[in-house]
Structure 1
């Protein structure tokens, strides 16, 4: 998948429906079984699960909603407090309820394996982005982290856009980024670590962390990934 093109597609989306179609395109291009974006909590929004974009079969979606599986899905339950990616193999499978849920999900073609990425937004919103595959156990163990590499930034960028298109987050005036803040963020875009950026710019590591922290604050973002996504969207950085 061309990451730069994928980011541009999100940026051009004019509606949540556009983002839903984008997920289908990503699924087809990447060869995964399914992709899901699930906004689980947005402060001030009374509607539960306010944004749900997915490529699952309609029959599974209908079954999931009718049975209110949001409350028992082991992955969703684990994702409520998680900050690191969740390999589906690591969540609860031992209880009869969990075994029945995963067996039913597989019968609807959800996928044999999956990774779910927790997302924490700058306004304290929470979301989950899921990638599923029908890969063999051996292939999954060998290549599972390559899926994270492809989708980690895209998940945060999609979340940022979904919140705005759904009217769940407003843009506010922000202070401009300093040259050093831009340079440090640009280094992250190029895959450099804060320590490597410090060497590139002849700065101390603590100074780089400080610039990244103030950049996140100015951009009203909770993580580096969100800050990069927003800065690229605002054309403050180059995404390649």
Structure 2
């Protein structure tokens, strides 16, 4: 958790899109990834991206409008949960050709993406990829999936803040029990352990989680934890 806290502190210092880009590059290095991408689309179609690919591949991707056939982008549009790239359908001829070209441009053979639904119709995704075998990747995602989920929401909140777009902040204060619940979730505790620690039933715990989500305007539990941390409502 210390690494995550350090990353949050570093991100809080970014005040320009250039500094945001530098943070994305540093984050890629901290987690020893091949590439990391943050891509945001607002309700009017305006786009912003911070990523670690070479400019010529980015230009090629935009020029060919590869987002239309990229299974990662299309999968993230349709789903709300994080996506392992190997679970996506890469069987179409266009998808296979795209994958081959992307691989030549440095794309890793393993990937993980987090779809984000933001305020006012905003959509974003954070993708990471690496070149390694299945066993190594399974170990990485097992250890780092929770970090990546939280970091993805931190990135989105910061990008919206820098761009000056309206974003949802907490409109109501959290109760002590709601804070306790989100704090324990942020430390990585599972629901059964949290219920035991707080001496409540898991059904009561779900009530606290859903109440906190509603107050924060969060899309899911992970988003609620990220928002609570970002706005200083809980400290880990």
TM over 0.5: yes
CA distance in 1, matches of 2:132, 2:209: 38
1:234 aligned to 2:231?
Answer: yes
Aligned residue number for residue 39 of structure 1: 40
What is the CA-CA distance between 1:196 and the residue it aligns to?
2.1
Q: Which of these residues, 155, 161, 165, is aligned with residue 164 of structure 1?
A: 161
CA distance in 1, matches of 2:122, 2:45: 13
Deviations 1:112-144 (A, max 9, x none): 221111122355532111111011344334544
Matched pairs, number? 235
What is the CA-CA distance between 1:171 and the residue it aligns to?
5.0
1:106 aligned to 2:106?
Answer: no
CA contact (8 A) 2:114 2:127 kept: yes
What is the CA-CA distance between 1:87 and the residue it aligns to?
1.9
CA contact (8 A) 1:127 1:159 kept: yes
1:220 aligned to 2:221?
Answer: no
TM normalised by structure 2 equals: 0.91
CA contact (8 A) 2:115 2:124 kept: yes
Secondary structure of the corresponding residue to residue 2 of structure 1: helix
| Change beyond 3 A, Cα 1:137–1:219 | closer
Aligned residue number for residue 121 of structure 1: 118
What is the CA-CA distance between 1:180 and the residue it aligns to?
1.1
Secondary structure of the corresponding residue to residue 39 of structure 1: strand
Q: CA RMSD in A?
A: 2.0
1:67 aligned to 2:64?
Answer: yes
What is the CA-CA distance between 1:167 and the residue it aligns to?
2.1
Secondary structure of the corresponding residue to residue 83 of structure 1: coil
What is the CA-CA distance between 1:76 and the residue it aligns to?
0.7
CA distance in 2, matches of 1:147, 1:100: 30
What is the CA-CA distance between 1:15 and the residue it aligns to?
2.2
